[in-house]
Every structure is written in structure tokens, then in C-alpha cells.
Structure 1
Amino acid sequence: MPLVRIDVDASTSAEVQQKLSDIIYDAMTSIAKVPANDKFMIVSTHAPGDLVYPKEGYLGISYTSGIVFIQITWNAGRTTDVKKAFYRKIADDVHEKTGIRKQDVWISLVDVSPENWSFGNGEMQYAPK
């Protein structure tokens, strides 16, 4: 049920874009227990200057033009500990497999109710019983 949006600078190679997608999907299935094959993602590239972030940093974290914005909309209900482990796995794996700085891995989770999804056919697959 997740919808993942990954926003990167246009200079990000197709190979790195694919690795980002794979890393996030692995964390979703291994840490957040998202079902297999539930991989709906949008990767968008942006021209220089289109990704806006505080040049002076925020909360003690400094950012570069290599920042990766990751937004995941998924069903509510995961614990804080699961979310912390999820964030950590993504940042660690992105750094290890792409060289992108952990500081530049920016993640936002949007928790929604199951009835907020239609996977096609104009149906509410997770309709309340």
C-alpha cells in the first residue's frame, strides 16, 4: 500500500535512482513488513535550484545539492521503533550502496487510513468490513 516519491537532482544517474528505489523497497519489506510486490514508486529528477533546502542546515544537519527527498504514504499503525529502524536502514544502505551522505537522506512518512487507497478498477480494496 505505500506510495513512494523520490526526488533527486537531475545529475543523479539512472543507476543510482534504481538503487534508491531498491533500497527503499527492501527497507519497506524487511523492516516495515510491507507485502511483497507492493512497489509503487515515482522517481522525479529536478533541475539545479528546484530542490530547496536550508543552506545553513537544520537541526544540526548540513545539506548539499546531493539531497534526496523521500516521501512515503502508507497505512498508519507502525510503531515509533519500527519507523526509527526504517529511517536508519534507508540512510545506512543509501550511503553504503550509492555514496550519498546520510545527512542528505531526507525522509517523510505520511500515515493514512486503509480506505484511502484504490489500486485500480475504481474500487476501495481495503474497504472497512
Structure 2
Amino acid sequence: MPLARISVSQETTAEALRAISDTVYESMVTVANVPANDKFQILSRHAKGELVYPEQGFLGVNYSDNIVFIQITWNEGRSTEVKKAFYRAIADGIQAKTGLRKEDIIINLVEVQRENWSFGNGDMPFAPV
């Protein structure tokens, strides 16, 4: 039940954005055990200066104007090992498909309880019992 928000530079091509989107979804399914067809994403392009990052770098990583921000809200409960493998699959996949640098792939997970989702009609499909 993830919701992914993917923010890129307005210079990012449609093909590259599609590859990023597909890589995030494929990594969810193959690494994080997300059900097939559970693909909810918000893709956003931003003008120069709207994606802000530390020009001096952070934690030994230096960034470029090709930075990609990926924020995923999903259910809590996945292990640290799964999360590490998930981050790696996304970074490796995006680099392989687009040529973007792994250093420019920022990923943030927001974990929520299952009852915090409604997929339409105002229904709570995973209400606590």
C-alpha cells in the first residue's frame, strides 16, 4: 500500500522519469513484498532552485542538479535488512536505466499503521478489529 512521491528536475526526460517510476515500483514488488498492481505515485518536475540540497554535500555525498527525491509512505513493519536492500535496488536500478548517479538518489521512508489508508469511497479497508 505504498504511495511514492518522486521529485526531479524539469530537465529530466519523460523516458528517464518513467524509468525512475518503474524502478521504484519494481523494487517495491521484488524486494519489499508489495502486492502487484499496488502502484500509486505522484511524479513532479521542478524548476532550477526548487530542489534544494547542500551544495557542500552531506555525510560524504556530493549532489548535482540531477538530484532525485523519492519519498515513500508505506506500512510499518519491514526489517532494516529489507529497507537496505530496497534502497540499493532503487539506486542501482535508476543508475542502470538512466545513467543518473547513485549519489543523486535521495530516498525517505515514512512508515504508518495499516488503518491510515483509504483507497476510495471513504472506506477504511484495514480497520483494526
TM-score of the pair, normalised by structure 1: 0.99
Matches for 1:95-106 after TM superposition, within 5 Å = 95-106=95-106
Q: Where in structure 2 are the equivalents of 1:105-124 lying within 5 Å?
A: 105-124=105-124
Q: Which amino acid aligns with 1:106?
A: I
Q: Could you tell me which runs of 5 or more consecutive residues in structure 2 were left unpaired when the two chains were aligned.
A: none
CA distance in 2, matches of 1:121, 1:97: 37
1:32 is aligned to: 32
> Counterpart of 2:89 in structure 1: which amino acid?
K
SS at match of 2:32: coil
The corresponding residue for 1:56 is 56
Q: CA offset at residue 28 of structure 1?
A: 0.1
- When the two chains are superposed, the root-mean-square deviation of aligned CA atoms in Å is 0.4
TM-score (norm 2): 0.99
How many residues are matched?
A: 129
The equivalent of 1:17 in structure 2 is 17
Q: Percent identity?
A: 60
SS of 1:123's equivalent in the other structure is: coil
Residue equivalent to 2:44: 44
1:6 and 1:123 map into 2 onto residues whose CA distance is: 26
Q: 2:53 aligns to what SS in structure 1?
A: coil
**Counterpart for residue 72 of structure 1:** 72
2:66 corresponds to which letter in structure 1?
G
Secondary structure of the corresponding residue to residue 50 of structure 1: coil
